[in-house]
Amino acid sequence: MSERVAIYCRLSEEDKNKQNSADDSISIQNQKAMLLEYAANMGWELYDVYSDDDYAGSDRTRPEFRRLLEDAETKRFDVILCKTQSRFTRELELVERYIHGLFPLWGIRFVSIVDNADTANKGNKKSRQINGLVNEWYLEDMSESIKSALDSRRKNGFHIGSFALYGYKKDPDRKGHLIIDEKAAAVVREVFELFSIGYGKTAIARILNDRGVPNPTEYKRQEGLRFKLPPSKNSTAWKYFAISSMLTNEIYIGNMVQGKYESISYKTSKSRPRPRDSWYVVEGTHEPIIERELWDRVQGMIAERSKPFACGKVGIFAGKVHCASCGYVMRSSKSKGKNYLQCQSRHFSRDSCVGAFISVERLEKIVLDELRCLTREYIDLDELARCTKLFCGLNTRKKDIETRLKSCEKKLGEYSRGLREIYLDKVKGIIAEATFVELSGEFSNQKQKIEENVIELKCELSEIETKLAQENDRRELIEKCVNLEHLTREAVLLFVDKIVVGKRISGTRNIPVEIHWNF
């Protein structure tokens, strides 16, 4: 019985040349023809052709790629055939996981024609690993090239992004340029005007919601820009944070502001915020919606409102107190000389939550009383003396491990460069294939040993750092608990995870308060 073969094709991003979006590219057609001919010559029975068009080699969500793996696991064929190993994947991690790990376990043979990868040939495993390593370098270099190109455009004031900021739209005649969307811009101008004459951010959100004005996300959906994202409950409502963000966005005065977030790695879509001094800000790149005089007036009012009250107590619970009804963070306010925390959600629209309300003074007393009660009940003063004796030997060990770790990481870099250099020497014909396989094998073995050593050192370092941190935290926590007389912002951050406040119980003065501690 002849072996069953599954053919996998993928269009690489540099050879897109389809006549229309519904057709396979010429590249895909050529791959299929080559692989079908090879399979026929080998006498293999064709099981199916899996074809991913317009997908990158680093994309793990490719639909046909995922279907291929599912069918491989259920042993629906015997051989996977590709043009090159990189058409299957460019990630070294997936090469090791599937080609060298799971495929042999499932009884699947992997063959790629151009680069002679064949798991039935035990002798070329190192070549497959080198191919995977080179492909990994390609992905990393490509990611850096794309990032560099995008950063260059950002520095020159070109808009980079899938969507324009609310109030603008992409210029169809000039790539990277924004033009005003008058329908949305009218709302932006109204928001600034309302704030400038004394309306608060919550009040502005309520005005827009009462009129049925869609928020920026819903507006994009209605305009067909995000039609794939169905509206969810309350997704159309304006909130405090949308108004707050709008009032401080320099794009509305004609300045292009980008680079607020950066990608963590080319292997993930996750991002992290960048410090403000690292943002790309280019002035005068497009027509402003807000005049400078109005902008300056609004910024002055925001700065004035952000100042703490004279008593200095407002802010100690900032970000820590949540409404039990809707879960939103309660915000500070002031009335008749007293400071309060209240849920703003009930002000956004008429059908919002019932809200929660409590004075800062009352909440401070509740938290402080409960903290003192916990201190008396659970803290042993003798333990404080024991906790102050830190493990001096741990600090010495930590420094020693850090030195060894630095040395290992330096050697890893040298071996990686060595692998790259001998691969290039092989390509240039400076060294023979046999010499290359021998050298790369030695380099890979040494590199693997160092990598294992690095993992062990990092684990040991992590354990030591955890012990030191725990000892210091315990000592500081006990000291602060024992000596605490007044509740401060620092104490709230240290002791309190979050506080949940409910609506006052009808007919009483009781307000439900639930404190979640950090210990």
- Mapped to the 3 state alphabet, what secondary structure does 264-288 carry? CCCCCCCEEECCHHHCEEECCCCCC
Give the total number of structural domains in the chain: 3
In a domain, 448, yes or no: no
CA distance 352 to 342: 14
Query: What per-residue confidence (pLDDT) applies to 139?
Result: 54
Question: For the packed helices 433-483 and 125-155, what is the interaxial angle rounded to 10 degrees?
Answer: 60
Per DSSP bridges, beta strands 45-52 and 4-10 are parallel
Mark whether 137 and 173 lie in a shared domain.
Answer: no
Q: Is the dihedral of CA 194, 199, 204, 207 positive or negative?
A: negative
DSSP 223: T
Mark whether 69 and 205 lie in a shared domain.
Answer: no
Strands (E), 371-443: none
**Residue 230, CA distances (Å) to 63, 98, 169, 222, 234 in order:** 22, 36, 21, 10, 12
Residues 6 or more apart whose CB falls under 8 angstroms from that of 226 comprise 163, 217, 220
Per DSSP bridges, beta strands 321-323 and 331-335 are unpaired
CA distance 444 to 301: 63
Domain termination residue (choose one: 256, 290, 305): 305
Mark whether 124 and 250 lie in a shared domain.
Answer: no
Mark whether 496 and 349 lie in a shared domain.
Answer: yes
Find residue 338's DSSP bridge partners. Answer: 335
Domain termination residue (choose one: 98, 131, 153): 153
**Residue 51, CA distances (Å) to 39, 45, 108, 217, 222 in order:** 16, 18, 19, 35, 34
CATH code assigned at 249: 3.90.1750.20
pTM, full prediction:
0.42
Q: What is the largest CA-CA distance in the chain?
A: 91
Mark whether 312 and 279 lie in a shared domain.
Answer: no
Mark whether 77 and 44 lie in a shared domain.
Answer: yes
Domain termination residue (choose one: 153, 184, 208): 153
Measured distance between the N- and C-terminal CA atoms of the chain, rounded to whole angstroms: 66
DSSP 335: E
Query: What per-residue confidence (pLDDT) applies to 337?
Result: 79
In a domain, 52, yes or no: yes
Strands (E), 256-380: 256-258, 261-263, 271-273, 280-282, 321-323, 331-335, 338-342, 357-359
CA distance 192 to 244: 10
CA distance 6 to 217: 43
In a domain, 428, yes or no: no
CA distance 154 to 256: 8
In a domain, 431, yes or no: no
CA distance 63 to 269: 18
Contact of 292 with 165, CB cutoff 8 Å: no
In a domain, 503, yes or no: yes
In a domain, 441, yes or no: no
List the structure tokens of 288. Answer: 């402003």
Mark whether 169 and 190 lie in a shared domain.
Answer: yes
CA distance 61 to 84: 19
**Residue 379, CA distances (Å) to 306, 386, 429, 477, 486 in order:** 38, 13, 73, 10, 18
Contact of 325 with 353, CB cutoff 8 Å: yes
Mark whether 375 and 503 lie in a shared domain.
Answer: yes
CATH code assigned at 112: 3.40.50.1390
Tens-digit pLDDT string for the chain (519 aa) = 679 999 998 876 545 444 444 444 556 777 888 899 889 888 999 999 998 887 776 677 888 999 999 999 999 999 999 988 888 887 777 887 888 888 988 999 998 887 778 888 875 555 655 555 555 555 565 556 656 677 777 788 888 877 889 999 999 998 889 999 999 999 999 999 998 887 888 889 888 998 899 999 888 888 877 545 444 444 678 888 889 889 999 999 999 988 877 665 555 556 677 787 888 888 899 999 999 999 999 998 888 765 444 334 447 888 788 888 777 778 887 878 788 888 876 655 555 566 788 998 899 999 988 887 776 665 554 554 455 454 556 677 888 888 888 888 888 888 878 878 887 887 788 888 888 777 777 777 787 888 888 888 888 888 888 777 766 665 565 556 656 677 888 778 777 888 999 988 888 888 999 998 876
Q: Domain range for residue 390?
A: 308-409+458-519
Mark whether 264 and 201 lie in a shared domain.
Answer: yes
103: left (phi over 0), alpha (psi -120 to 50) or beta: alpha
CA distance 49 to 90: 20
Mark whether 65 and 167 lie in a shared domain.
Answer: no
Query: What per-residue confidence (pLDDT) applies to 306?
Result: 56
Mark whether 217 and 164 lie in a shared domain.
Answer: yes
Contact of 40 with 120, CB cutoff 8 Å: no
CA distance 194 to 189: 9
Which residue is listed with tokens 């420094």? 399
Mark whether 140 and 272 lie in a shared domain.
Answer: no
C-alpha atoms less than 13 angstroms from C-alpha of 448 in its C-beta half-sphere: 8
Find residue 79's DSSP bridge partners. Answer: 5, 109
In a domain, 436, yes or no: no
Query: What per-residue confidence (pLDDT) applies to 21?
Result: 42
In a domain, 46, yes or no: yes
Burial class (CB in 10 A: 0-12, 13-18, 19+), 286: buried
